[in-house]
Amino acid sequence: MEILNIKDLKISFNTDTGVVEAVNGISLSVGEGESLGLVGETGAGKTTTALGILRLIQCPPGEFVKGEIFYKGQDILKMKDQELRDMRGAEISMIFQDPMSALNPVMTIGEQISEVILHHQKCTKEEAERQMLAMLEQVRIPAERAGEYPYQFSGGMKQRVIIAIALACHPKLLIADEPTTALDVTIQAQVLEMINALKRTNHTSMLLITHDLGVVAESCEKVAIMYAGEIVESGSVADIFDATAHPYTKGLFNSIPSISKKMDRLKPIEGMMPDPGNLPTGCKFHPRCPFASDLETCAAEEPIAYEVTPGHFVRCHRCRSWVEELKVERGVGV
């Protein structure tokens, strides 16, 4: 059963310098207990999508131009304020990027965890405190530290506190917005492991936003690659990692140093991410695409999602013609 279903979502920001199209008609779905990795460069619209799901985008300047976000069949974009507040934290929860600034510096961490529990569950203070201590134990922070302030914790511990807050009310969907970006590598592994373990025990679905393909491989079943506000390629982890189709995704993999292969230089993707206020016509990736010169259609026509193999979608003119040629060849061959 699908828990989250986004259909053709378009979010833009009306700024003084013009309309910035941050999210351009993305569609994605997350099943129950499933993890979807949303991967892309900085500025691809990942965080906007996440905040959009929780309706945390300031309107104005933000605007939900079109599309629907269904959570358990209910359109989030049509919810009233009270319904939204009841949903946030209890049904859909979010882990923020930077643990250093996501905790209130003048409240003890215990108070901050209990606050969410008290807010969503009609229970006594004692009950909330009991649940808070249980939660702290789950993220392996000693209970006696509940009365301490955020500045007394290290970055990794703060992120675990945030995880405890996010999972305190056992949400059905967890949005993790680059939960490990601000942490160093050893702590990253620890935190990821913890998120995965808690996710399994609570049977929570997850939307994991990251720019680290390694993180995705470790903890997701499905992947969506985002570029300039669009999902350019999506599919299972195997589809994306082993049968990479879109030139952008290939570029991403080429930018990762490999231990097994001998390489003199990394091959980064040429050029820069386009300005979301002034996007190129046709395929958004064509100015940087090494294959775009072959086809004039790249600059003129916007590619539509094309199903390469069942469940594996690619938005690329080149891939489409390629695969079709292949099919024709095979058809002739048979």
Partner 1 sequence: MTQVSTRKISVQSEFVPQKKRQSQFQLKAHRFARNKAAVIALCFIVLLVFCAIFADYISPYDYAAQDLANKLQFPSWRHPFGTDNFGRDILSRIMRGGRISLLVSACAVSISAVAAVIIGSIAGFYGGTVDNVIMRVTDIFMSIPGMLFAMTVSAALGTGIMKTAIALGVCSIAPLVRQIRSSILLLKDQEFIEASKAFGVSNAKIIMKHIIPNTLAPLIVQISLRLGDTIMAISGLSFLGLGIQPPTPEWGNMVSAGKEYLTTFWPMVLFPGLSIMLSMLSFNLLGDGLRDALDPRMKR
The residue ranges that bind partner 1 (CB under 8 A) are 42, 47, 54, 56, 84-90, 93-94, 96-98, 100-107, 115-116, 119-120, 148-155, 162, 165-166, 182
- Of residues 98 and 221, the one with the C-beta less far from partner 1: 98
Residue carrying the six token digits 């390694």: 214
- Of residues 138 and 244, the one with the C-beta less far from partner 1: 138
Distance CA 93, CA 168 (A): 9
Q: Are 63 and 148 in contact (CB under 8 A)?
A: no
Distance CA 66, CA 40 (A): 22
State the nearest-atom distance from the C-beta of 166 to partner 1, in Å.
8
Q: Are 205 and 32 in contact (CB under 8 A)?
A: yes
First to last CA, the chain: 38
Distance CA 325, CA 124 (A): 66
Q: Of 287, 280, 276, which Cα lies nearest the Cα of 251?
A: 287
State the nearest-atom distance from the C-beta of 116 to partner 1, in Å.
5
Distance CA 301, CA 323 (A): 18
Sheet architecture: strand order including 74-75: 18-31, 2-15, 62-71, 74-75
- Of residues 125 and 267, the one with the C-beta less far from partner 1: 125
Note the maximum CA span of the chain: 73
State the nearest-atom distance from the C-beta of 47 to partner 1, in Å.
7
State the nearest-atom distance from the C-beta of 172 to partner 1, in Å.
14
* Phi, then psi, of 66 in degrees rounded to 5: -155, 175
State the nearest-atom distance from the C-beta of 56 to partner 1, in Å.
6
State the nearest-atom distance from the C-beta of 279 to partner 1, in Å.
20
- Of residues 145 and 250, the one with the C-beta less far from partner 1: 145
- Of residues 12 and 93, the one with the C-beta less far from partner 1: 93
State the nearest-atom distance from the C-beta of 278 to partner 1, in Å.
21
Q: Of 79, 86, 90, 19, which Cα lies nearest the Cα of 52?
A: 79
Task: With residue 235 as reference, give the H or E element that holds it.
Answer: strand 230-236
- Of residues 12 and 47, the one with the C-beta less far from partner 1: 47
- Of residues 124 and 152, the one with the C-beta less far from partner 1: 152
